[in-house]
Amino acid sequence: MILIGERINGMFKEVKQAIADKNKGVIQELARRQTEAGANYLDVNVGTAASDQEGAMQWLVETIQQSCSTTLCLDSQKPNVIEAGLKVADPNNGIMLNSTPVNKKTDEEVFDKYLEMAQNAGPKSCLIALTMDKNGIPQDVDTRVALAAEIVQKVMEKGFDTPRIFIDPILLPVNVPNAQAQAGNILSALDQINYLSDPPPHITLGLSNISQGASERSLINRIFLAMAISHGLDSAIVDVFDHELMNVVATSEMLMNKQIYSDSFIKAYFSAR
Amino acid sequence: MILIGERINGMFKEVKQAIADKNKGVIQELARRQTEAGANYLDVNVGTAASDQEGAMQWLVETIQQSCSTTLCLDSQKPNVIEAGLKVADPNNGIMLNSTPVNKKTDEEVFDKYLEMAQNAGPKSCLIALTMDKNGIPQDVDTRVALAAEIVQKVMEKGFDTPRIFIDPILLPVNVPNAQAQAGNILSALDQINYLSDPPPHITLGLSNISQGASERSLINRIFLAMAISHGLDSAIVDVFDHELMNVVATSEMLMNKQIYSDSFIKAYFSAR
């Protein structure tokens, strides 16, 4: 399971404040602790509050890199903010870009722009692509899979290996009216996305979205994560500080035969990471 | 989710002792508490220790029926023990028989015998049938599904409605050597068993088997149950006293759109049962 730590995000108060105060300690502590907790990537999102988003992204990247070499996942819907981060990112660490929707005729440049940035960022770079387009986020299974197929086709045409693409079928909160079927639809989409290419693309989800504004947040996150792993999810953007969630990751990997059972399988899983 | 409470089983020390002492209070308390905790059926298994298994089964059935009318699930591999229980079971409560393997040429009578007992036990009776035959428990997906198809065909031929059959693909413990792939295989089998007939058979599992002898028993049970529900499992033999497991049931039902989200969805789920 490829885990992307979600905590360095300007949406969180302490991060927003640290960016405003240029408080390196807070950010470096989050980077170090998420890495220790099992994060393979660290998401880096300046949030919407920073007036100079490009500057904030560069400061975050430089600050994190001074304390650890965990691969960063530059997270912005604005290509110029991603580009600013790429300028200061250490190419030896690898990089992930997060994220682009599928382009349609009139805004072809969005997807192409992100793919081009990923391709120029070195041979280990990865890109998260969302199954959404100008029509928004699809509610049904077929449109999600069709958009995923479009993503796979586009990256194959550009010579970008499919395992370097992370398809995100986009989780909506369970409390959104008229979206009650979406959790099941996402699972059905996962079943199919795994067969789009050989080797298949990775699949990722912003897990915490599903419980946004809901009660029992950790429980909902945990149960849906177990379900999704059993349908082929192999990556997620998560709160790696949620200890119970991490136990779910280890247990799911063992049950899906990614790790042999031993009496200390949870400890063994995290030791091996 | 159709839940079968597993606790009235002579394998448990307190039940074994209560059977030996003819201590009605212990059994009636287990029956009442399991029903309150959300059990739709109460499994009744005399265990292997009782010298007079038929007498013990009758005593258990009569004892439980004096305190509640929850449908019983008579659990024995011996048809004569089931028959003894049926003689004293209240036909108004409905009944479930647990369980028979698929018969093969030379022991055709086993499956037929259980099906005949179920058919004679009234129009609401149900039967749990295991996907195993004289060759034992299959490890692979295809044999499990083929045996399930054989079960469905047999009951259709006898005019027994498919929703009255509960197919049990048989969980093995995660710590059994050479069975590491079985959890994933069971899930793949579930995907297919749902399409064997319309309306489909129910599917059930003896959930606690998966963690027999393992560490982190409740965690393993919970995670596998969430996965299995997302692959179409609609019944399970469980420890309904495991509060966290019951929260997983409620959360899984909500995520799979069997219940609409509300902030008190867990409470709402159990209130509606």
Name the average pLDDT for chain B.
Answer: 94
Chain B residues near residue A257 by CB distance under 8 angstroms:
180-181, 183-184
Does B67 contact A at CB distance below 8 Å?
no
User: What single-letter amino acid sits at B189?
Assistant: A
Cα distance between residue B12 and residue B30, in whole Å = 12
Please name every residue paired with B72 in a beta bridge, in sequence order, or none if there are none.
B42, B95
Q: What is the pLDDT of residues B195-211, one digit of tens each?
A: 999 999 999 999 999 99
ipTM over 0.85: yes
pTM: 0.96
Q: What is the pLDDT of residues B209-245, one digit of tens each?
A: 999 999 999 999 999 999 999 999 999 999 999 999 9
Q: What is the pLDDT of residues A50-96, one digit of tens each?
A: 789 999 999 999 999 999 999 999 999 999 999 999 999 999 999 99
Cα distance between residue B94 and residue A123, in whole Å = 65
Tokens 């409390």 belong to residue: A175
Mean pLDDT of the B56-78 span = 97
Backbone angles phi, psi at A99, to 5 degrees: -160, 170
Mean pLDDT of the A207-211 span = 96
Q: What is the pLDDT of residues A33-47, one digit of tens each?
A: 999 999 999 999 999
Does A205 contact B at CB distance below 8 Å?
no
Chain B residues near residue A215 by CB distance under 8 angstroms:
263-265
Q: DSSP H helical segments within B22-106, as ranges?
A: 24-37, 53-65, 79-88
The residue ranges of every structural domain in chain A are 2-271
Chain B residues near residue A250 by CB distance under 8 angstroms:
none
Domain B2-271: give its CATH superfamily.
Answer: Dihydropteroate synthase-like (3.20.20.20)
Q: Could you give the 3-state DSSP secondary structure of residue B200?
A: coil
The distance of B9 to chain A (nearest Cα, Å) reads: 26
Which two structure tokens, joined as six digits, stand for A146? 């069709």
